[in-house]
Amino acid sequence: MSFLFDLMNIAANQLNSNSKPLKESENIAFTPSLDTVQQVDINEREFRRASQSKSERWTLRTPTKRDIVARLERVSAEDGLRLKQCCSAFRVLTCGTHPLRSYPTFRCKKLFCPDCAAERATRLGNQTEAKIREVMKTTKGRLCLLTLTTKNAATLDGGLVKLKKSFANFKRKKVFKEHIKGYFGAFEYTFNPKTNDFHIHLHLIVLRGKFWNQSDISDAWRDVTGDSFIVDIREIKNTHKGVKEVCKYPMKPADLMEMPDDKFLEVVKMKKGTRMFVSGGCFYNVKLDDDDAADDNIFSQFADLTEGDACPFCGDELFDVLVNRQQHIGLHELGSMPNVVKNNSS
């Protein structure tokens, strides 16, 4: 109902506005009507709120990104430039009022890039949650968050190899198979500036059959690691939050800034394609394509819209504009883009 109401309001406002004159033929083709406008169950108020929060997220990441770029430029000019260019310009699909879809013209896809890490966390989180919910329809068990830790490591690579090897042995143990029906997980790194080493751990979402208490898990984990026994298991009450915990940033930007140059470079130069996820059992099919960076859409319903389509809110024709990072933040802040003029509307 409110969508229709908003639509009528917009249509009425447009009659009084001559800010964007249209050719007569265009005017007829894109007059809002229920036949030409794609139906979405999002009203204008929801759209504005989501747009505002998108703007806040990009604003929040901007100073962090600037700091990392500045530091990276000092140790590796080439990597610094790539990071600087990442998400510095955007293509936005808009009717002139509603910024519906946007995508950066270039993404570095580095794990330490605050923009790309956030995009990845959101995308992987959504994919994972959908797949886990699907599996849970047919497989019974308790969804738990299991965290496995290892002793601090001097190098990231060395620590990661050790943790991966330990987990490979752990999941082969009889006691693991007896309790865990499926698992999906991601590695996370933190850095301790006092001891100058990395703390690497594995967050797993597991589907637990039989109850498995923490001290037994700890004993089994010590068996395979030899020296590490700190584990944590807790039931996941909210699947969305649980998945988010696992799919979050692999490393906090604050940690990155506290590293001495050699450690900082080690993270920056980490091999592309270093495997960050593990999965098995009933969650074996929770496979994630980590190569594909998605658009930064506010609503997935807009993902199929393209130039020439009608705006779902006002019915105006959609077109692409190129904006810089600051403009991109600004137009989402308003939830509208009054100053953007269609390039080819002479």
Complex with Zn ion: residue 86 or 236, whichever CB lies closer: 86
Q: Which is nearer to Zn ion, 145 or 256 (CB)?
A: 256
> Are 92 and 312 within 8 A, CB to CB?
no
Coil, strand or helix at 207: strand
Residue closer to Zn ion, measured from CB, 182 or 312: 312
- Say how far apart CA 86 and CA 79 lie, in whole Å: 11
Backbone angles phi, psi at 163, to 5 degrees: -65, -40
Q: Nearest distance from residue 312's CB to Zn ion, in Å?
A: 8
Angle, to 10 degrees, between the axis of helix 44-75 and the axis of helix 114-136? 130
Question: How does strand 180-192 pair with strand 231-235?
Answer: unpaired
Q: Quick one: 12 or 130, whose CB is closer to Zn ion?
A: 12
* Least separation in angstroms between CB 192 and Zn ion: 26
Tell me the closest approach of the beta carbon of residue 119 to Zn ion, in angstroms: 8
Residue for token digits 């984990």?
A: 221
**Alpha-carbon gap, residue 308 to 102, rounded angstroms:** 16
Task: Decide whether 32 or 281 has the Cβ nearer to Zn ion.
Answer: 32
Strand order in the sheet with 142-149: 231-235, 142-149, 197-208, 180-192, 277-281
Token pair of 48, please? 């504005």
* Enclosing H/E stretch for 109: none
CA 119 to CA 121: how far, in whole Å? 6
Minimum gap (Å) between residue 324 Cβ and Zn ion:
16
Q: What CA–CA distance (Å, rounded) separates 136 from 142?
A: 9
Comparison of 51 and 150: residue with beta carbon closer to Zn ion: 51
CB of 116 to Zn ion, least distance (A): 3
**Nearest CB to Zn ion, comparing residues 8 and 168:** 8
- Contact positions toward Zn ion, by CB under 5 A? 86, 95, 97-98, 108, 113, 115-116, 311, 313-314
Euclidean distance between CA atoms 300 and 213, whole angstroms:
40
- Least Å distance, CB 82 to Zn ion, is 8
Shortest separation between residue 156's beta carbon and Zn ion, angstroms: 19
